[in-house]
Amino acid sequence: MSTTKVLRGGLFLTFEGTEGSGKTTQLERLVARLEAEGYSVARTVEPGGTEIGRQIRRILLDAKNSGLDATAELLLYFASRAQNVAEVIRPGLGAGRAVVCDRFTDSTLVYQGAGRNLGAETVMQLHAIACGELEPHITVYLDIDLETGLARARERNRATASDETRMDDQTIDFHRRVRAAYLDLAARARHRFRVIDASGTMDEVAAAVWSAVEPALESRQHV
């Protein structure tokens, strides 16, 4: 009978990337591998991850809400995140699980802080209120050129008839600010960021993700 591997203090892993980087696909592959390796995993997403968060997500990402004010948008993201931290993330870490989150405050720093020009200081003030001192142990950032990523995202939206296109539909200048901010943030937070070229095959990217995550798993003294 196999024993579930428990991580001391848990392990908080986040995935970040611009539109069409393939981060959700790679997150799913990592979750499947972690479970196959015997780890207890809590998967979540921002915005969303809880029933309350999913209601907020519908407001934030629905293309019909093009008139949403930038400050209102920022506050809604943190409302979703505060619920997620309280309901999913902190309990998961407390139980020694690998908590894998599709986006977290880094997304808000680059999309609202830089993309909307609201500033990093404002974002981090709200992070302190919503999340306290919580920070990911490892952040996997999948980097891809904007043209390829946006083409992928728009094809995905057409194929799935998704109405969650409000962020995809922003101007190219907005997306350029977002990617530049991601790369700057990764350079300043090298202790946790792992930058991975997302232009390879799915298998190549998945292998790079596992190589980035495995040392952190081993260091958490699982049993």
Buried-exposed string 109-127: b where 16+ CB fall within 10 A, e elsewhere: bbbbbbbbebebeebeebb
Bigger pLDDT: 219 or 55? 55
**Residue 6 resides in a domain:** no
**Residue 19 resides in a domain:** yes
DSSP assignment of 31-78 equals HHHHHHTTB-EEEEESS-SSHHHHHHHHHHH-GGGTT--HHHHHHHHH
Residue type at 109 in one-letter notation: L
**Residue 208 resides in a domain:** yes
**Residue 154 resides in a domain:** yes
Q: Does 161 have pLDDT greater than 70?
A: no
Q: What is the mean pLDDT of the chain?
A: 91
The token pair at 155 is 């094809």
**Residue 3 resides in a domain:** no
Predicted pLDDT at 170: 73
pLDDT 10s digits, 12-39:
999 999 887 889 999 999 999 999 999 9
The range of the structural domain enclosing residue 156 comes to: 11-219
Q: Report percent pLDDT > 90 for the chain.
A: 74
* Count of structural domains within the chain: 1
**Residue 2 resides in a domain:** no
Q: Does 92 have pLDDT greater than 80?
A: yes
- Give 129's pLDDT tier (boundaries 50, 70, 90): very high
- Give 212's pLDDT tier (boundaries 50, 70, 90): very high
Q: Does 160 have pLDDT greater than 70?
A: no
Cβ contacts of residue 212 below 8 Å, gap of 6+?
138, 140, 194, 196
Q: Does 63 have pLDDT greater than 90?
A: no
Mean predicted confidence (pLDDT) in 200-223? 89
**Residue 5 resides in a domain:** no
CATH number at residue 124: 3.40.50.300
The CA distance from 5 to 217, in Å, is 10
Q: Does 168 have pLDDT greater than 70?
A: no
pLDDT 10s digits, 171-204:
888 888 999 999 999 999 999 999 999 989 999 9
Predicted pLDDT at 3: 80
Predicted pLDDT at 22: 87
Mean predicted confidence (pLDDT) in 32-52? 97
- Give 2's pLDDT tier (boundaries 50, 70, 90): low
**Residue 119 resides in a domain:** yes
Residue count (the chain): 223
